[in-house]
Amino acid sequence: MKQYAVVTALMDGDAMVSGERQSACGGCAGKSACGTLGSWNKRPVSMRVHNLAGARIGDKVEIEVDDQLMLKASFRLYILPLLAFFLFGGIGWLLFQQETLAIVSGAGGIALCYAWIRHQDRHLPPAMARITAVVESAHLNFAK
């Protein structure tokens, strides 16, 4: 997956970049009647990335996220918490024999799962693939 952005700040070998999140819908003809609550709209996004290309503030860059990393992140953020909900909810049902406590146990499992995910790899940031345009002046100030 590739994304284009502008470098807004530099810090410890990383860069803060800002750009527009691209729509997943593309040129779908059915988007006017779609029930995805406007997911086709472009939205501004800022993120911290590894500055492998040596970009400076104001440079336009290409950000690349490995497809395997996207699949791994999707699994960890969606499938693992769902499994934790069912596992802890089932254990809660076996221990307490009450639906309410089973649901609370399942919610606790989700919370523990997200705490474990956050502790694991502190999210692997995407890497800057290349600089697409170099800024003319190095005196730009984005900290307004």
The model's pLDDT over 7-30, given as tens digits with 9 standing for 90+, comes to: 898 888 888 888 876 655 555 655
Mean pLDDT value of segment 62-91 = 87
Which position has the token pair 């596992």? 87
Residue spans per domain, the chain: 1-65+126-144, 67-124
Residues forming a β-bridge with 127: 50, 64
Residue 63 has phi, psi (to 5 degrees) of -100, 135
pLDDT of residue 139: 44
3-state secondary structure 54-84: CCCCCCEEEEECCHHHHHHHHHHHHHHHHHH
**CATH top-level class of 1-65+126-144:** mainly beta
More confident residue, 125 or 102: 102
Handedness of CA 130, 134, 135, 137 (dihedral sign): positive
Say which DSSP state 113 is in: H
